Copies of this chain bind each other. A is one copy, B any other.
């Protein structure tokens, strides 16, 4: 599937991003890059802590699906990120757990004059039973239509 355009945006439309899981090494590498807390980066310390094992950095789940699914689908329409709200970290995610992600268009505020639309994307991250690991609302400014390319003389 290639990049989508504004005609694919509909209120309450759900995009199913399937599932992914993370190895211990992927959890550690991501956390060393932006969230270097011991319970994300050090297996031995994590096993003695309240979670009883290495857990994924909260932001890792979102960025995993954002980078691998959202960006490839929507990148040609994105003007800029506007805001993030209600990002809730509800359950720990351990290595090799299946995490499912679905994204719903929760609101759309078009500005036809400027050829722009502010879309609120609601992300749900769940386990196989549908219990939430995490959720988040991301509002992004998109192009409504591709502007016509200037024709070179």
Contacts and interface: CB of A to CB of B under 8 A. Distances in A.
A66 interface: yes
Interface in A77-93: 78-89, 92
B86 A81 contact: no
Contacts of A83: 86-89
Given A58-B81, A79-B50, A37 B71 contact: yes
25 contacts: A34-B34, A34-B63, A34-B66, A34-B67, A35-B66, A35-B67, A35-B71, A36-B67, A36-B71, A37-B78, A38-B75, A50-B79, A59-B59, A59-B63, A80-B89, A82-B88, A82-B89, A83-B86, A83-B88, A83-B89, A84-B87, A84-B136, A85-B86, A85-B87, A87-B87
